[in-house]
Structure 1
C-alpha cells in the first residue's frame, strides 16, 4: 500500500535520521543531567530544612537511590523534562536541535505541524531510535515506526526552508 505524499519536501532517509537522533540523544542526556542536578538541589534543601534526614545513609545520593519514594519521583522528574524537550520542539517548529542541524522536520503528512498530543504519541516508538530502522525496510515510503503509528513523516528541508528560528 503506497501512502499519499502531500509534502513539498522529500522524506528523510535512514542516515540523516540516525545522525539527527545522535545529536538529540546528546542533548537529551544534558537535559536529563540538568534536571537531575535541579532535583538533587531540591532534595538537598529539603534535608537541610529538616523535611527528612538521610535515613541512615551517609550520602544524599545513597538516600535517593535506596529510597523508592525519592527515587521514583526523581526519575520521573528527569524523564519528564526529556519528554518535554521533544514534545515542545516537535510541536513548536517540527524540529529539535539535532533535526535542525540535519535539515529535518517532523510534520503531519499534509505538511502541517504536529500537535502536542501527536508528539506525545511519537515519544515511545522514537525511544532509542529503533523505530527508524523501519525506513531501511520501507525504502519506497521512507516511514519509520513512529511515523506510521502517528500519521506523520520526517522530511528533508532545503537550505532555504531550514533557515530561521527554532
Structure 2
C-alpha cells in the first residue's frame, strides 16, 4: 500500500486518539501549572513576591484581575504548542501514534504551523470530528478548513 492509498481515519479511531491526547494535555497542563506555582512559591519564600491579600498562590492565580487571565493564556499556549509541535514534526500526537493515525496535507506532505493553528481553531474542541461520520471522505470539519487529511498508517509505517 503506497502513501496515496492510505485510508482516511474514521470517527471512532479519531475519538480514541483524541481521548489519549486529552489525557496527555491534562497531564502536561498540570506540570506547567505546577512549575509556575513552584516558581512563585520560591519567590514568596525568598521574600521577593507576596500574594497578599490573596489566601495563597492558587487563589492569586485564579482571582487576580491581571494574573488570572495571564495564567489562562499561559495554559492555552501550552495546549496549543502541544498540538502544533507534534502535528508539524511527525504529523502525529502521542494519541495518534497509538492509533496509527497521521495528519497530512492533501498531497501527503507534512502540515504547516498555519494549518495546525487552523485545525485547532476550527476543531471545536474535537466536535469537528463528528463530520467524519457523515462525510464520504471521512474528513473532519477542521480538515476541510485546513486542507488536511487524517490517514490510517499501515502497520509497517
**TM-score, normalization by structure 1:** 0.87
Q: What residue in structure 1 maps to residue 105 of structure 2?
A: 108
Higher deviation after alignment, 146-155 or 60-69: 60-69
Q: How does 1:1-166 map to 2 (within 5 A)?
A: 7-138=4-135, 140-161=136-157
Tell me the C-alpha RMSD between the 2 structures: 1.5
Where structure 1 has 5 or more consecutive residues not aligned to the other structure, the ranges are 1-5, 162-166
- The ranges of structure 1 where at least 4 consecutive aligned residues each deviate by more than 4 angstroms after the TM superposition are none
Residue 148 (structure 1) shift: 0.3
| Structure 2: runs of 5+ lacking an equivalent | none
Aligned residues: 155
User: 2 CA distance for matches of 1:9 and 1:82?
Assistant: 29
| Alignment partners' CA distance in 1, 2:113 and 2:146 | 12
1:131-155 C-alpha deviation (Å, 9 max, x unpaired): 00011121x1111000000100000
